[in-house]
Amino acid sequence: MTEANTTTPDRPPFPTIRTVSIGRPFHWLKLAWADLKSCPGASLFYGFCFVAGGGLMIAALGWAPEYIAAVTSGFLIGGPFLAIGLYEISRRREQQLPCNLVATMTPWKRNASNLAIFAAILLVIFLVWARASLVVFALFYSGQLPTMATFLRYAVSTDHIGFLVAYFAIGGIFALIAFAISVVSIPLMLDRGHDAITAAIVSVRALLANIPAMFVWTALIALLGGLGLVTFLVGILVTGPLLGHATWHAYRDLVE
């Protein structure tokens, strides 16, 4: 018996990656704004879900910085998965289909098993980072852990530069890993039915082929995400949907 070839001629194992200009992320946000204006009810519903989820996490943790910083990072890590409904809105607009809210709530069913695998991967990354966050705090604070106000003072001063360098360096490593495997992976799984590992590899390839544009895209994500946080999550109502829609357009631009 011969082994069956599972790769069909019309579907290569890895799609072709496009190279885009450094300013292309701004175009993705422009398209995202058009999506939001076209389907404001459905888009803002998901924005409200981001706000409510963030508020619940903060309330549950009581503003403890050793947890909130990790959970905030975890929120950003899991953002691409939480935005599936927003990807579906953008996809349906492309195909000139109705973008009513109910129709955007179940796109995960098209590739549920692989989305679950990818969600588990993101969860592991988050849990490891949360544990690493606690370890860094424990190493630098042998006594009582700082309050949120104290932590914020440390963040804007140079009195605890060693702690800040260690904390943000470790956090940056986890954020980079999560970002690299999430650039286009979930939209790719939803749109073409690829498995989680293939989608993650394609995502990393897209990042490596477009480092200047990805640097700008990362900065925009940090800026819009930070804007939502400094407005006590209110800004996430709009910036969350914008980033979700823009991620779909990034996928359509980067993957041939």
171 domain residue, yes or no: yes
> Which domain covers residue 78, as residue numbers?
24-254
12 domain residue, yes or no: no
Q: Give the pLDDT of residue 74.
A: 63
Residues in the chain predicted with pLDDT less than 50, given as ranges, are: 1-9
164 domain residue, yes or no: yes
pTM of the model: 0.85
How does DSSP classify residue 195? -
Q: Give the pLDDT of residue 118.
A: 92
Question: What does the pLDDT look like over 237-252, one tens digit per residue?
Answer: 999 999 999 999 999 9
10 domain residue, yes or no: no
- The answer to whether the CB of 83 falls within 8 A of the CB of 47 is no
Q: Give the pLDDT of residue 63.
A: 62
195 domain residue, yes or no: yes
123 domain residue, yes or no: yes
Q: Give the pLDDT of residue 79.
A: 77
85 domain residue, yes or no: yes
222 domain residue, yes or no: yes
Q: Label residue 11 exposed, middle or buried (CB < 10 Å: 0-12, 13-18, 19+).
A: exposed
Q: Is 255 helix (H, G, I), strand (E, B) or coil?
A: strand
Distance in angstroms (rounded) separating the CA atoms of residues 186 and 189 = 5
Number of domains in the chain: 1
Q: How far is CA 253 from CA 31, 185, 198, 213, in A?
A: 11, 13, 18, 12
**Unique residue bearing structure tokens 């991620």:** 247
Question: What does the pLDDT look like over 92-144, one tens digit per residue?
Answer: 999 999 888 998 998 989 999 999 999 888 888 888 887 887 787 777 766 66
